[in-house]
Amino acid sequence: MTKASNHDVYFVPGLHRGLRVLEILGASEAPMSLSDIARAMELSRSSAFRLVYTLRQMGFIREAEQANTFTLGARVLNLGFAYLNQQPIADIARPILAQLRDETGVSTHLSVLEGDDVLYLVSHQARSGYVSNMRTGTRTQAYASAIGWCLLGGITEPELQEFADRQTWQRFTEHTPMDAASLLARVLEVRTAGFVVSRGFREPGGSSVAVPVRDNTGSVVACVNLSGPDSGFDFDQIDSFYLPKIQEAALQISRALGYPGS
């Protein structure tokens, strides 16, 4: 059961492999030839041919400038944005986070826990020259960042234990938790404080302030954060200015989701 057996009775392999083609093309830097795809999928060229043929005819992939090489087509874009537009929280948060960015002058983000990753749903870049590498659609491992700890506050302790068991711990900075116990400590810390300030916890030189967003049941469903390079942050202002502002923004979003508290 751990291993997803591919020869399930109800499994349609054509679909499975076609979607993998799309993901492989999405992950590839350069356009790929049919043989490249076949190799990457460990599939016969003839089968890859049929998948490419179908995807191309549908507009999900297109041939690149160089003949017989393929890249993603524009039709996949619609799928991604259809997903985004279906997340009500993104629509709610967008204007609120835009205003927060304007008031604070640093980048603002909304993220959710998706699988074991932090998934960024909304991103507003700071006006300054610095451009954060976090953009809508970005994924990062949840255990390794302050924002992840904030989001992990939304799951139960047994779930968190299971989560921890699944991780392959990798040290990003000296602050990265490397086992279940230290992760749990971090998460509880954030949960009780109601916010978290990261000074280079994930990347040296990059800092952020994060606050959870709650839904009508009161559980954490998302996380608002400010982030930027240390040079763009005024650390003295965190408590007096950044934190109240971001808490206000998070509360606005929570209220829109039906959160009764304050």
Contacting residues toward DNA, per CB under 7 A: 7, 9-14, 17, 33-36, 38, 43-47, 49-50, 68
Minimum Å gap between C-beta 35 and DNA is 3
Tell me the C-alpha distance between 19 and 22, whole Å: 5
Q: Which pair of structure tokens corresponds to residue 183?
A: 């992760």
Minimum Å gap between C-beta 109 and its own copies is 14
Minimum Å gap between C-beta 192 and its own copies is 29
Q: Which residue do the tokens 């030189």 mark?
A: 205
Task: Pick between residue 80 and residue 218 the one whose CB is nearest to its own copies.
Answer: 80
Site string for its own copies, 169-198 (x = CB under 8 A): ------------------------------
Task: Pick between residue 40 and residue 188 the one whose CB is nearest to DNA.
Answer: 40
- In this structure, are residues 15 and 49 in contact, taking their beta carbons and an 8 Å threshold? no
Which of DNA, its own copies, none interacts with 68 (beta carbon under 5 to 8 A by kind)? DNA
Which of its own copies, DNA, none interacts with 181 (beta carbon under 5 to 8 A by kind)? none
Task: Pick between residue 36 and residue 116 the one whose CB is nearest to DNA.
Answer: 36
Q: What is the DSSP letter of 98?
A: H
Interaction residues for its own copies, span 79-98 (CB under 8 A): 79-84, 86, 94-95, 98
Site string for its own copies, 13-42 (x = CB under 8 A): xxxxxxx--xx-xxx---------------
Is 219 one of the binding residues for its own copies (CB under 8 A)?
no
Backbone angles phi, psi at 120, to 5 degrees: -85, 120
Which own/partner pairs from 181-190 qualify as long-range (CB within 8 Å, at least 24 positions apart)?
A: 183/143, 183/149, 183/152, 184/157, 184/160, 186/149, 187/149, 187/152, 187/153, 187/160, 189/149, 190/146, 190/149, 190/150, 190/153
Minimum Å gap between C-beta 49 and DNA is 4
Q: Which pair of structure tokens corresponds to residue 223?
A: 């996380």
Q: How many other C-beta atoms can be found within 10 angstroms of the C-beta atom of residue 210?
A: 25
Which of DNA, its own copies, none interacts with 57 (beta carbon under 5 to 8 A by kind)? its own copies
Is 57 one of the binding residues for its own copies (CB under 8 A)?
yes
- Smallest CA-to-CA distance from 70 within 61, 58, 59 is with 61
Tell me the C-alpha distance between 81 and 35, whole Å: 30
Burial of 243 (0-12, 13-18, 19+ CB in 10 A): middle
What is the binding site for its own copies (CB under 8 A)? Answer: 4, 8, 10-19, 22-23, 25-27, 49-51, 53-55, 57-60, 71-74, 76-84, 86, 94-95, 98, 102, 114-115, 119, 125, 127, 129, 131, 135-139
